[in-house]
Amino acid sequence: MRKFLILIVSAVLFLSGSCNKTPTPVPEEEAHFSVYDKNMHPLENNKEFTFHTTDQSADLSIRVKNNTNRPIFIKTRLVTVSGTDGSQFEVCMGTCYPSMQLHTLYPVGQDFKIEAGETTSAHAIHYWNHYDGDCSYEVEILEVDDSGNKIGKSFKFKYIHN
């Protein structure tokens, strides 16, 4: 009987100790896409683009290449904004929107599909600030699954107007 009690107490202590362990974090999957400027020069994550105008030369075109052997779906969103509210920050990703709202995924209610190994055209994805004051926007491009959940690492950049 004593051996049985020791066995029960040992099992309870072992199980209670294993329940309190912090799970090992799963590393985030690498991105399945690469990002380029309109001339196909690679862009580094967290790149800053600074413009001193709101005319056509401030229209930032970005190209995205699917690095997989299957179609992927991407979206974009405004992560942070300062100096304005995003209501004059245009985004086009298949569909054009004259403004962006924080944390809303664009294109809204639809997918932006990039076929296996393909790269978007030079003007399929672009961002353009129309606000004349000093402002900045942090933007994220991300891959999503069928439910709109993020897959892998995203690409972020900052668009600055001053």
pTM: 0.81
- What value does the mean pLDDT take over residues 24-49? 86
Facing residues of 159 across strands?
49, 137
**pLDDT at res. 13:** 47
pLDDT classification of 3: cutoffs 50, 70, 90: low
In a domain, 18, yes or no: no
**pLDDT at res. 27:** 56
**pLDDT at res. 6:** 53
Say how far apart CA 13 and CA 88 lie, in whole Å. Answer: 60
pLDDT classification of 74: cutoffs 50, 70, 90: very high
Q: What are phi and psi of 114, to 5 degrees?
A: -125, 120
**pLDDT at res. 2:** 55
In a domain, 28, yes or no: no
The answer to whether the CB of 35 falls within 8 A of the CB of 141 is yes
The number of distinct structural domains making up the chain is 1
In a domain, 27, yes or no: no
In a domain, 40, yes or no: yes
Tokens for 59? 């229209």
The answer to whether the CB of 159 falls within 8 A of the CB of 129 is yes
Percent of residues in the chain assigned helix, strand, coil, to nearest 5: 15, 45, 45
* Diameter of the chain measured on Cα atoms: 86
Mean pLDDT for the chain?
A: 88
**pLDDT at res. 111:** 86
Say how far apart CA 159 and CA 155 lie, in whole Å. Answer: 13
In a domain, 145, yes or no: yes
pLDDT at 118 exceeding the cut of 60: yes
pLDDT at 99 exceeding the cut of 60: yes
- What value does the mean pLDDT take over residues 60-84? 97
pLDDT at 121 exceeding the cut of 70: yes
pLDDT at 9 exceeding the cut of 70: no
In a domain, 152, yes or no: yes
Domain that holds residue 148: 33-161
CATH of the domain at 153: 2.60.40.10
Mean pLDDT is highest, among 25-29, 63-67, 149-153, for: 63-67
As a whole-number percent, the residues of the chain with pLDDT over 70 amount to 83
